[in-house]
Amino acid sequence: MRVLVTGADGQLGYDVVKKLKELNIEHIGVDKEDFDLTNEKETKEFILDYQPDAIVHCAAYTDVDQAEKEKELCYKVNVEGTKYVAEAVKELDAKMLYISTDYVFDGQGEEPFEVTDEPNPINYYGETKYQGEQEVQKLLNKYFIVRTSWVFGEHGDNFVKTMLKLGKERDEISVVADQYGSPTYTGDLAELIIEMIKTDRYGIYHATNEGFCSWYEFAKEIFEIADVNVKVKPVSSDEFDTKAKRPINSKLSKKELYKLFSIQNYECSIRGFLKKII
């Protein structure tokens, strides 16, 4: 199997490439320097020249707040860029795995969202990721759409690293306590993605580490495991002024995922991750 990974310099793409290397699977990791995803000709030529059996499409415009300002660029990357990739995949009759997000949902209610629930994004980033899903579904039969949330990994910035940094600098940290979801370690998700693309079990999946918590509980867990003595103050979303709205409930049901695959609890993942970086 030959695999092409877009967004290879991002948190998740980096770990997918790393795992492919460890498993001796033929692959190439590409990023902005290799081709411009918003350029149809460049994107298609690169993919068709490499002729992968599968594409893991991690590349995306992911700055949720900035997306409200840079709508045109966000749309070009997340919708048009995804369409170009999918069209090249169709021409090759290859598989495509598209990384999506919990932000395709509106966060209403308390129950975890099922893969069959109707998306209803409340910010522009979520809207473009949902439109990207639709482009993949329109063009392809051999696709995996993987919605994930709250990712953290060794490469790049994330909530865990930010908390550790702030924990060294401050005596007290305020963290949102009324948004709920699942932390997801990119190392675990990368392994799962590679398992998926080896199969023909196509469709939409929710893939996060097992278990749910609030950002506040997530922060408390980080400091407890890292043995950092800092006071964590729970606050409401209203106290944080962000340009883009965030869903209150980002819980994703993994019923469909567990029929075929498994993934460990988020507490175990945080523990393993912190051992690597501290």
Measured over the CA atoms of residue 217, residue 220, residue 225 and residue 226, the dihedral's sign is positive
- Tens digit of each residue's pLDDT, the chain (278 residues): 999 999 999 999 999 999 999 999 999 999 999 999 999 999 999 999 999 999 999 999 999 999 999 999 999 999 999 999 999 999 999 999 999 999 999 999 999 999 999 999 999 999 999 999 999 999 999 999 999 999 999 999 999 999 999 999 999 999 999 999 999 999 999 999 999 999 999 999 999 999 999 999 999 999 999 999 999 999 999 998 899 999 999 999 999 999 999 999 999 999 999 999 98
Please confirm, yes or no, whether 61 is among the known catalytic residues: no
**Domains delineated in the chain:** 2-158+183-210+250-265 (3.40.50.720)
Nearest in space to 5 (alpha carbons), one of 66, 63, 56: 56
Quick count: other Cβ atoms within 10 Å of Cβ 111? 10
Largest separation between any pair of C-alpha atoms in the chain: 56
List pLDDT tens digits, range 227-272: 999 999 999 999 988 999 999 999 999 999 999 999 999 999 999 9
Catalytic residue among 125, 180, 205, 266: 125
Alpha-helical runs (H) found in the chain: 11-22, 40-50, 71-75, 81-92, 124-139, 159-169, 186-197, 215-226, 255-258, 266-277
Mean pLDDT of the chain: 98
Question: What pTM did the predictor assign?
Answer: 0.97
Separation of alpha carbons 160 and 152, rounded Å:
7
Q: How much is the pLDDT for 240? A: 86
Quick count: other Cβ atoms within 10 Å of Cβ 92? 16
CA 62 to chain centre: 9
